[in-house]
Amino acid sequence: MKNLKLLFGCLVLTIFTNLSHGQDYYIYVSDAGGFNVPPWQVLRYNLDGSNPVVLVDNEFFTSNGIGWPQDILYLESENAILISCLVGNRITKHNAANGAYIEDFATVSGGPTRMKYGPDGKIYVLQWSNTINKVLRFETDGTPLGEYTDTGIPSSIGLDWDDAGNLYVSSYGGSKVHQFDASGNYVGEFINTNLAGPTNVHRESDGNYLVLNWNAGNVQRFDMNGMHLETFTTAVAQPEGIAEHPLNNNYLIGNGANGSVDQFQPDGTFVESTIPSGSGGLVQPNAVVVVDASLSIEEFSNKKVLVTPTMGTLFKLNELENTALDSLEVFNAVGQKVATLDINANFWNAQFLDEGLYFLVGSSNKGTYIQKIVIKK
- Selected from 2.60.40.3080, 3.30.70.1050, 2.102.10.10, 1.10.275.10, the CATH number assigned to the domain covering 300-375 reads 2.60.40.3080
| Dist. CA 209–CA 122, nearest whole Å | 22
Distance, in Å, from the CA atom of 107 to the CA atom of 321, rounded to the nearest integer, reads: 28
Domain definitions of the chain by residue range? 25-293, 300-375
Distances in Å between the Cα of 240 and the Cα atoms of 229, 256, 260, 313 are 20, 7, 11, 25
Instruction: Give first-to-last CA distance, the chain, whole Å.
Output: 31
pLDDT reported for residue 371: 87
Alpha-carbon span 218 to 212, nearest angstrom: 6
Query: What's the CA gap between 244 and 302, in Å, rounded?
Result: 30
For domain 25-293, the CATH architecture is 6 Propeller (2.120)
Q: In what helix (H) or strand (E) does residue 137 lie, and over which residues does it extend?
A: strand 136-138
Per-residue model confidence (pLDDT) at position 334 = 67
Q: Identify the pLDDT of residue 369.
A: 84
Find the helix or strand (DSSP H, E) in which 251 lies.
Answer: strand 251-255
Cβ neighbors of 5 (< 8 A, separation 6 or more) are 335
Query: How far is residue 275's CA from residue 292's CA, in Å, rounded to a whole number?
Result: 18
Global pTM value: 0.80
- Is the Cβ–Cβ distance between 281 and 260 less than 8 Å? no
Encode the chain (377 residues) as per-residue pLDDT tens digits. 445 444 444 554 444 444 444 447 999 999 999 999 999 999 999 999 999 999 999 999 999 999 999 999 999 878 899 999 999 999 999 999 999 999 999 999 999 999 999 988 899 999 999 999 999 999 999 999 999 999 999 999 999 999 899 999 999 999 999 999 999 999 999 999 999 999 999 999 899 999 999 999 999 999 999 999 999 999 999 999 999 998 898 999 999 999 999 999 999 999 999 999 999 999 999 999 999 876 664 444 455 788 988 888 999 998 877 778 889 999 887 677 899 999 889 899 999 998 888 889 888 887 788 888 889 87
DSSP state of 69: E
Indicate the burial class of 333 (C-beta count within 10 angstroms; 0-12, 13-18, 19 or more). middle
